[in-house]
Amino acid sequence: MEFTLPNNAELPPVSAERLAEFGKSHALTPRVMLALDHALNEHLQNVVDHSMAKKASLRLQVVGREVHVLIVDDGRDFDPLGAAEPDLVGD
């Protein structure tokens, strides 16, 4: 499954129908589908919230017993070494 997503926080990042169709066509278990749905939505929401991307593409592929996911966007890069230290103390 491969498609391009608009960067629009108002739209759900992954169509539930398309994801269900992908899972059914590859006989993925409900447990795998739930994990895949959560992971995809989290990653794609990060694209929307943080990368300033204008578009993103998602590719899913089943290889043996693995689901391979490729998400590519045209947004700014994330440098974990350049990120601010988290405030672990709190108020």
Q: Which residues in 32-59 are b (16+ Cβ under 10 Å) and which e? A: ebeebeeebeebbeebbeebebeebebe
Which residues does 67 contact at the CB level (< 8 Å), separation at least 6?
A: 26, 28, 32, 36, 60, 61
Secondary structure letter of residue 80 according to DSSP: G
pTM: 0.71
- Residues 50-84 have pLDDT tens digits of 888 888 888 899 999 999 999 888 888 888 888 88
What residue type is 53 in one-letter code?
A
